[in-house]
Amino acid sequence: MNPTTLPTRHRFATAVVAVVLSFCIAPATHAEAQGMENVQIRTQQVADGVYMLMGQGGNIGVSVGDDGVFIIDDQFAPLTDKILAAIAAITDEPVRFVFNTHWHGDHTGGNENMGEAGALIVAHDNVRERMSTEQVLERIGRPVSTTPASPAGALPVITFSEDVSFHINGGQLHAFHVSNAHTDGDAIVHLVEANVVHMGDTFFRGRFPFIDTASGGSIDGLIDAVGDALAVMDPDTRIIPGHGDLSSRSDLQEYGDALKAMRGAVASLMTRGLSLAQIQAQRPIRAHAETWGQDRAAEDGFVATIHHGLGG
């Protein structure tokens, strides 16, 4: 979609919200499922035995080896066959584990299919808890959509509170929880020997992040999560973002610095007693919006997210 072709400010804002929703949080509705007929799964090798699959929804990380296949996130249910076909083009081994980086439907939508095919589903405690009940999604404190509870077969069967390690395919996958970042159930997965990190939605490459405040996300938690991830990396680490292209440590460092700068700019205007509208009018994060090619609605929306997260 090219938002610049939309005629009115109202439609402009609506389109931006729709894009954010479809990429970050929405479950596969019937219409979306139909639209997925044309989705292609692209496979990119990240390291020896590690791949990234891009289709629609969150990027999928794949570890392959003699012990079987371990995948990180599984996009939407209508894409499962295509995802399995893309994996079958890499290896004959079955998918043994699915790890969910958080509860959103564009990362967990394939769970039920993958579970039926024999995979064990693993996630943070709060992922299972949120998937077990209806979730109301808010944007900046306003409800915008509802996600029904997931069927039992889609729920993680193994959950953890702080971290968990998998010792397969000749290496260690260490998944660690970062609290109140994109949601309250985020985990970052470090494929130690392969020197790869899957960030889930704590990293949106090249655009403003979405922070699901109704699910316990916060700007400060997001900044801390990026710091925790950087701490396990070296300059050669390859990074799979939740959304966007394969990245490097310096890309993540830039993103973390941008988050801190944007938070600081909004916080300082709040300290001066300005209202949200006044802060938005001053355009404190305009430079970042321009760097990332983001429109005014996205810019104002992220100012509001930071403002809301700081108690405004």
**Given the rule CB under 5 A, which residues bind Zn ion?**
24, 104, 201
d(CA 98, CA 275): 44
Q: Which is nearer to Zn ion, 49 or 57 (CB)?
A: 57
Q: Which is nearer to Zn ion, 80 or 108 (CB)?
A: 108
Q: Which of 171, 220, 188 is nearest to 123 (CA)?
A: 188
Q: How far is the CB of 185 from Zn ion (least distance, A)?
A: 10
The set of residues, in sequence order, having a beta carbon less than 8 Å from that of 226 and lying 6+ positions away, is 202, 203, 252, 255, 256, 259
Q: How far is the CB of 25 from Zn ion (least distance, A)?
A: 6
Q: Which is nearer to Zn ion, 244 or 284 (CB)?
A: 244
d(CA 208, CA 248): 18
Q: How far is the CB of 159 from Zn ion (least distance, A)?
A: 18
Q: How far is the CB of 101 from Zn ion (least distance, A)?
A: 8
Q: How far is the CB of 213 from Zn ion (least distance, A)?
A: 12
Q: C-alpha distances in angstroms, 294 versus 3, 115, 143, 281? A: 10, 38, 23, 16
Q: Which is nearer to Zn ion, 70 or 204 (CB)?
A: 204
Q: How far is the CB of 89 from Zn ion (least distance, A)?
A: 27
The β-bridge relationship of strands 42-47 and 50-54 is: antiparallel
**Dihedral sign of CA atoms 230, 233, 236, 238 in order:** negative
Q: Which is nearer to Zn ion, 104 or 205 (CB)?
A: 104
The set of residues, in sequence order, having a beta carbon less than 8 Å from that of 278 and lying 6+ positions away, is 269
d(CA 223, CA 263): 9
d(CA 230, CA 274): 34
Q: Which is nearer to Zn ion, 104 or 130 (CB)?
A: 104
Q: Which is nearer to Zn ion, 84 or 181 (CB)?
A: 181
Q: How far is the CB of 183 from Zn ion (least distance, A)?
A: 7
| Angle, in degrees to the nearest 10, between helices 296-309 and 249-271 | 70
Q: Supply φ then ψ for residue 304, to 5 degrees.
A: -65, -35
